[in-house]
């Protein structure tokens, strides 16, 4: 394989979008518009890494493509700096999406990925893996594929003395699978306006107007918010201890 074809790829999609489109297309379009606004703001960022004494412009480092309810991000190559930028950028987009009342989940992978911007062609095993690792997870979170976990761990990224890349039993459709995820609660605890611990019901409040009352959600959907809050409370507690 030509190493120039290896890239970090992230797949971001909205939970419950298919059902929302069938129920209320105007509401679905509004939610997608909010996610695209998050994308556009993120694309203008310059990320400063104080430990490396480096500032990275997102637009020149990571490309973003949007189709339907999905945003795909990918790097030019597969350098440690690009992975670090990808992790920070995806976490920022995840956080801002939640703040904008858009429930998303993310998968990140490393592998072969081809693209042709002029002809709008994007394909490769890395995209399929990123999609699958995110789609199988039953939460709002950022999951790492096996292909990328070692490189992510080796970055030794921290926030407030907590690891950014953490081991976790990731809730999946077939049961929990031990893997690695991004510790997004540690990165954005300072933005919280309510003190933890959280309950699934009060976390879900942001999505109530779009998807209806929490108690009327199918149990499988409720479980996604329960799993999200379990992860969130665990790492917020660690940060406060």
- 3-state helix, strand, coil split of the chain in percent (to 5) is 50, 30, 25
Q: What is the 3-state secondary structure (H, E, C) of 68-86?
A: CCEEEEEECCCCHHHHHHH
Tokens coding 178: 């031990």
- Residue with the bigger pLDDT between 200 and 191: it is 200
In a domain, 205, yes or no: no
In a domain, 148, yes or no: yes
* Residue 205: partners with Cβ closer than 8 Å, 6 or more residues away: none
Tokens coding 112: 């072969």
Q: By residue range, what is the domain housing residue 168? A: 3-189
* Residue 70: partners with Cβ closer than 8 Å, 6 or more residues away: 11, 12, 13
In a domain, 180, yes or no: yes
* Residue 212: partners with Cβ closer than 8 Å, 6 or more residues away: none
Statement: residue 1 has pLDDT above 50? no
Statement: residue 4 has pLDDT above 60? yes
Instruction: Give me the half-sphere count of Cα atoms (radius 13 Å) on the Cβ side of residue 165.
Output: 21
In a domain, 199, yes or no: no
In a domain, 86, yes or no: yes
Length of the chain in terms of residues written: 241
User: How many domains does the chain fold into?
Assistant: 1
Residue 241 is predicted with a pLDDT of 52
The residue with tokens 């190493």 is: 3
Q: Is the distance from CB of 115 to CB of 74 less than 8 angstroms?
A: yes
In a domain, 94, yes or no: yes
119 burial (CB, 10 Å; 0-12 / 13-18 / 19+) is exposed
In a domain, 217, yes or no: no
The residue with tokens 């394989």 is: 1
In a domain, 83, yes or no: yes
Dihedral angle of Cα 186, 232, 62, 152, to the nearest 10 degrees = 70
Statement: residue 195 has pLDDT above 90? no
Q: State pLDDT tens for residues 61-112.
A: 999 999 889 999 999 999 999 999 999 999 999 999 998 999 999 999 999 9
Count the Cβ atoms, other than its own, within 10 Å of residue 192. Answer: 12
Residue 60 is predicted with a pLDDT of 87
* Residue 35: partners with Cβ closer than 8 Å, 6 or more residues away: 12, 14, 69, 71, 97, 100, 102, 104
CATH number for the domain spanning 141: value is 3.30.70.1230
- Residue with the bigger pLDDT between 189 and 42: it is 42
């Amino acid at each position: 394989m030509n190493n120039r074809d290896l890239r970090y790829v992230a797949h971001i999609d909205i939970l419950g979008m298919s059902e929302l489109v069938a129920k209320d297309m105007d509401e679905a379009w509004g939610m997608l518009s909010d996610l695209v606004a998050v994308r556009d703001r993120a694309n203008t960022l310059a990320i400063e890494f104080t430990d490396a004494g480096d500032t990275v412009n997102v637009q020149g480092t990571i490309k973003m493509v949007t189709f339907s309810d999905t945003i795909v991000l990918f790097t030019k190559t597969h350098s440690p700096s690009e992975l670090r930028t990808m992790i920070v950028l995806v976490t920022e987009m995840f956080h801002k999406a939640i703040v904008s009342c858009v429930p998303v989940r993310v998968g990140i992978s490393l592998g072969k990925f081809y693209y042709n911007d002029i002809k709008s062609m994007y394909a490769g095993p890395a995209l399929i893996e990123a999609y699958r690792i995110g789609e199988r997870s039953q939460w709002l979170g950022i999951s790492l594929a096996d292909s990328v976990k070692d490189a992510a761990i080796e970055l030794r990224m921290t926030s407030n003395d907590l690891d950014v890349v953490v081991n976790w039993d990731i809730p999946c459709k077939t049961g929990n699978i031990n893997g690695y995820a991004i510790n997004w609660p540690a990165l954005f605890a300072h933005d919280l306006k309510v003190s933890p611990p959280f309950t699934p019901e009060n976390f879900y409040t942001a999505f109530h107007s779009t998807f209806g009352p929490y108690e009327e959600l199918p149990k499988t959907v409720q479980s996604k918010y329960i799993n999200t809050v379990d992860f969130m409370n665990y790492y917020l507690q660690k940060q406060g201890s």
